[in-house]
Structure 1
Amino acid sequence: MALYTLAREAEVLLEIKKSKFIGRVRPVATEEEAKMWIADIQKRHHDATHNCYAYLIGRHQEIQKSNDDGEPSGTAGRPILETLKKSGLYNVAAVVTRYFGGVLLGAGGLIRAYSQATAEAVQAAGLVREVPHTPYLLKMDYPWWGRVEHLLHKEQHPYDPPEFTNRVTVRVYLAEQAAGSFLNKLAETTNGNVTSEAENPVLLRLPATPPDPDQQRD
């Protein structure tokens, strides 16, 4: 399953049978960062009935934690965690704050409420996919830049703004499966008059379409 990270922090507010549910999600790099963020929300909403949370840390979701914060066991923290997992996320923390409105929801109602608050917060945050790319530093004389620029626009590979000194240099980022084809086209387009130097691979954050959690259920 492809894994994604959040594009940004987000917050949503739901009202279900007079209870208010505030769903929040945030990208985090470490478990310590997740704990600090959760503690800050608990402090800010110390008057809430519950501050239930979950987080996933590691590209393979190695660290998985959830907490019901006083809700019946398995009705809050676990649904939050499962919603994050079904969304294909990693390095993410979520907190759903509940202000009780006087109407009991029952176990099923709680599970649906906490899942919905989390899912809507994830949707509001947006997803990005981290994809390995190799930067290639291209160097050329000025007459060849027009052809290279046209090729870059046509192939739609990400690249940094070019630098114009005594020669033109531009850094283009190529996914592994696209590198060979692009470099061959570059050589053909410029008659071999552009040099390319591979640099250390990096992870690029690219917009992603979130998976549908409903389609991933057994």
Structure 2
Amino acid sequence: MKDSYKTVAKKGVASFTVQKSRFIGLVDRVENEAACKAFIEECKEQYPQARHYCSAWIIGEGGIHKRADDDREPQGTAGLPMLAVLEGRGITNVCCVAVRYFGGVLLGTGGLARAYSHTAAIALNASGLVLRVPAIERIVRLDYGYWGSLQYKLETAGIPIADIIYTEQVEVRFYVEWQEIAAWDQEIASITAGTALVREGEPVWLNKPLKGDDDE
């Protein structure tokens, strides 16, 4: 994927109980179908006595690949409601598993759909969401006399600094979003009167926390 996208910040786990059935929601960031299957198996191993392990996942740019599994619950009452929650958050590269310990009371199709939707929602809330932004590492060597001005500019702009090395000159490594590369190279040249040595490092993804995405 080359464009920015929303996904989960980290693994998330949350649970609740309704009519004596315990539901445990788990989410994780995944990059492909194999990772989804591995995460589902991990959940089964973690909760081996559960009755159901329903799941939903979305992968790829624009959420092009998606799947839902009811795992022996009535058709359409588990996986699809969970998938709808993921789609509603506008996220991709995510897998959600809902583990159910059956409590002996039937919830009905409507009750099941609400329970599984809620399970997915609280798991996402526990994880939090981030905007993943493509960026590039910039490696800059400059004289000490210019470092204070560049450091101020970087900190004011909220640019993540990866490393600073002090030798005969200052070498600083930081991350710049792709669309801002030209502007920052121009800024560096202006601050250092064109004397800085600028090199390109490795491409990376920056995680920007998102707020206000909780549905419940």
Length-normalised TM-score, structure 2: 0.87
Q: 1:131: how far off?
A: 0.5
How far apart, CA to CA, are the structure 1 residues paired with 2:117 and 2:126? 14
Match in the other structure for 2:13? 11
Deviations 1:105-138 (A, max 9, x none): 2222211110111111011011222101132221
Match in the other structure for 1:52? 54
Moved more, 199-208 or 93-102: 199-208
Which structure's residues are more often strand, by fraction? 2
Deviations 1:130-188 (A, max 9, x none): 10113222111122212211221122212222111222111222223433443333333
Match in the other structure for 2:95? 93
How far apart, CA to CA, are the structure 2 residues paired with 1:60 and 1:155? 29
Which residue identity lines up with residue 97 of structure 1 in the other structure? V
Contact 1:54/1:66 (<8 A) preserved: yes
How far apart, CA to CA, are the structure 2 residues paired with 1:29 and 1:210? 25
Q: Assess, with a 3 A threshold, how the Cα gap between structure 1 residues 192 and 25 changes in structure 2: closer, same or farther.
A: same
How far apart, CA to CA, are the structure 2 residues paired with 1:47 and 1:140? 61
Q: 1:200: how far off?
A: 5.0
Contact 2:7/2:92 (<8 A) preserved: yes
Which residue identity lines up with residue 60 of structure 1 in the other structure? G
How far apart, CA to CA, are the structure 2 residues paired with 1:16 and 1:179? 52
Cα root mean square deviation, aligned: 2.3
Q: Assess, with a 3 A threshold, how the Cα gap between structure 1 residues 132 and 73 changes in structure 2: closer, same or farther.
A: same
Deviations 1:79-107 (A, max 9, x none): 11121122222222111111222332222
Match in the other structure for 1:187? 189
Moved more, 146-155 or 35-44: 35-44
Q: 1:74: how far off?
A: 0.4
Q: Assess, with a 3 A threshold, how the Cα gap between structure 1 residues 91 and 148 changes in structure 2: closer, same or farther.
A: same
2:180 to 170, 178, 181: 178
Match in the other structure for 1:149? 151
Aligned length: 214
How far apart, CA to CA, are the structure 1 residues paired with 2:145 and 2:166? 12
Length-normalised TM-score, structure 1: 0.86
Unaligned runs of 5+ in 1: none
Contact 1:127/1:210 (<8 A) preserved: no
Match in the other structure for 1:32? 34
Contact 2:53/2:71 (<8 A) preserved: yes
Unaligned runs of 5+ in 2: none
Match in the other structure for 1:207? 209
Q: 1:213: how far off?
A: 5.7
Please state if 1:115 is matched with 2:117: yes
How far apart, CA to CA, are the structure 1 residues paired with 2:153 and 2:97? 46
SS in 1 for 2:134: strand
Q: Percent identity?
A: 36
SS in 1 for 2:62: coil
SS in 2 for 1:48: coil
Which residue identity lines up with residue 175 of structure 2 in the other structure? Y
Contact 2:51/2:100 (<8 A) preserved: yes
Q: 1:68: how far off?
A: 0.7
How far apart, CA to CA, are the structure 1 residues paired with 2:164 and 2:92? 34
How far apart, CA to CA, are the structure 2 residues paired with 1:150 and 1:43? 50
Deviations 1:24-79 (A, max 9, x none): 11122221121122123234434322211112222332321211111111010111
